[in-house]
Amino acid sequence: MSTGEVVTPKPAPGAGMDQRIIAALGSGERPPRASAVNSSLTFGWRALLKIKHVPEQLFDVTMFPIMFTLMFTYVFGGAVSGSPKEYLQYALPGILVQTIIFITMYTAMTINQDIEKGVFDRIRSLPVWRPSLLVGALLGDTLRYLMASTIVLVVGVLIGYRAPGGFVGVIGAVGLLLIFCFSLSWLWLILGLKVRTPNAVMGMAMMILFPLTFVSSVFAPPETMPGWLQSFVDVNPVTLLVEAARGLMNDSPDGGDILFVLGASAVLVVVFAPIALRMYNRKS
């Protein structure tokens, strides 16, 4: 029996929620996918934001450079050159190189921490250029290297260092160092993707970096070392990097050393970047 009433069908469960979501998102076109450059810069900015939220990360690029510069100058200066000020003229380019090379290992630790916390998997699911996470991390770290370089140079100037090569020589040395460290960081990315924990990453990196930096011309001329040790020091890549930076800062650039550093940087990228990217794509 009809009562003349119009029955309005009830909306399906969740239909009202769907409409609200659509209204919130709007009906405009989907924004274009970020380019490789934009996504890499975004992840580079992410690396810098981590410093903002965890300021303790600046410890390695602020306190370490100050500590290394003061400690090595005043501990070794009198014994090696007769006075800390005279020794500083020789040692500061080496201390600059050693400080920044030590900081490069934090690239591996950062990517390893992202994997351990699950952030790595979330980022890989985003519709962006796949290598942008790695490239962005390296760009962010390069700014950290620049910051640490500036601190070493400022402290050096305050305690008496003067670069015979002037501002241009210093900029050239820092630029060469940043290029090499950016390239070296691809090797540390492989280590960060392979090793299970950040502590293991630091241990393995230290085992590689300590002999390379201390058994070099960072703190003393190779001519003062035993012949068997000098043979290793002369072919140590860190020695060649130090000598290239020292030559630029002392207004006596060596074209051979500079070309070696640039060539070695290119080889590091060509060899290790594809391996790091392949491991990144296969990481589960």
Tell me the per-residue pLDDT of 180-212, one tens digit each, with 9 for 90 and over. 999 998 998 888 888 888 788 888 888 988 888
Interval 74-84 mean pLDDT: 81
Highest-scoring range by mean pLDDT, 34-43, 99-108, 110-119, 267-276 = 267-276
pLDDT of 126 reads 77
Confidence of residue 267 (pLDDT cuts 50, 70, 90): very high
User: Can you give the pTM of this predicted structure?
Assistant: 0.80
Place of tokens 């040790």: 229
Confidence of residue 111 (pLDDT cuts 50, 70, 90): confident
pLDDT of 59 reads 72
Interval 73-94 mean pLDDT: 85
